[in-house]
Each structure stands twice: as structure tokens, then as C-alpha cells.
Amino acid sequence: MEIPSVYLEQAVDQLASLPGVGRRTALRLALDLLKRNDVEIDDFVSALSALKDKVLRCQNCGNISDTPICGICSNPKRDPSIICVVEDIRDVMAIESTSTFNGMYHVLGGLISPMDGIGPQALNIASLPVRIEKDQPKEIILALSATMEGDTTNFYIFKKIKTYDLLVTRISRGIAVGSELQYADELTLGRSLQQRQIFDLQQ
């Protein structure tokens, strides 16, 4: 499949570098962009350029923000005694949309993944002990994905912070609310049996 334009080929190469975008999809996206007028292309390109120039990371929690300190960290109504450790901004958004958490976040920017060459140094982990010493939180919630990378990262962080006088918790894993037992995978079902909880009418 040979593209008859060097410039179109370069655009396809770049678009195909995005996660989950193959060359066929990239060509479709590039052809869609080709159909747009100059103003639309300029808007598109400058919105992406702004990612580099304008989007900051909160100096406190590492979350994405337009200001040096993000809206959550600068909100006096949030409880600074609980810090929830998450992988990235999407997890912050997901937890915020549950309206069940009023603490602070610590955004790692990824998970430890030796297979992908991502070590602890590439992530926003070293600043967590510093923050704990400064803010003296009572609890750290580890809210990472239930994957091997999530478990590895949980373990690494736990080792780094276990000497501090605080509670380290992990979000519960088990059968999803509304789902049927028979369709749960063995691992999830096994874990949810092992980590069974006292029956409580209040919950």
C-alpha cells in the first residue's frame, strides 16, 4: 500500500504513532484532515501545539492543570489528610465523578512496567515521601489498576512509605456492582472470596 505523497505519508506516520491507531486508521484520519479548510486545520494544529506550551502539571500532586497548583490542591474544602495515589488524570476524573472522595490526589503519570522500560524514576513517585513529610496525611489510598503493573507499583510505593506513621489502604477488588457471579473471571472471584468482608446492613 504505497501512498503517492511524501507529505501525506509523513502525516500518516505521525498519526499512526498514536496509541491504538494503525496505518489504515491513520490514513483515514489524514484524509479527513485533508478535506478541511485552512482555518480548521490551523485550529486543529494549534490546539495540539498548546498541549506542549500551555498545559502544566500541578507542582503538588502532578495532575494536569492550567495553573501551577491545580484546582483540587488549591480547594480549601478538600481534606489534605487523605491522599489517593492514581495512575493518571483519567483516574482522577473517574473518581471525581463518583462524588465519594473529598481528599487529595497524587498522580503518578503511569505505572511501573519493566516490559515497556518504565521504571520508578520515570514516574512521579519520589515526590510522594516528600509530600508525606510536609503535609503529614493520615491515610494513603493506593487506587491503581488491578493489573500486574498496578500490583508492582503498589508494592514499590508501599515499600517507600511503610516507615511513615500512616494508614496505607488499597481500593477493594471484587465482583463489579451489577454483574453476575457466573460471568466473573476465576481470579476476580477467587480474590473476592479471599477478601470477603463482614456483612453490614449499612452498606
- Residues in contact with a copy of itself by CB under 8 A are 1-8, 10-11, 13-15, 17-21, 25, 27-35, 38, 41-45, 47-52, 54-55, 63-66, 70-72, 88-90, 92-94, 96-97, 109
Note whether 148 and 183 are within 8 A (CB): no
CB 159 to a copy of itself: min, Å: 26
CB 105 to a copy of itself: min, Å: 10
Give residues with Cβ within 8 angstroms of 125, minimum separation 6: 108, 156, 157, 160
Residue (34 or 171) nearer to a copy of itself, CB: 34
- Candidates 172, 170, 149, 174; CA nearest to 161 is 170
**Burial zone of 174 (CB within 10 Å; 0-12 exposed, 13-18 middle, 19+ buried):** middle
CB 133 to a copy of itself: min, Å: 26
Residue (118 or 175) nearer to a copy of itself, CB: 118
Beta bridge partners of 106: 85
CB 140 to a copy of itself: min, Å: 22
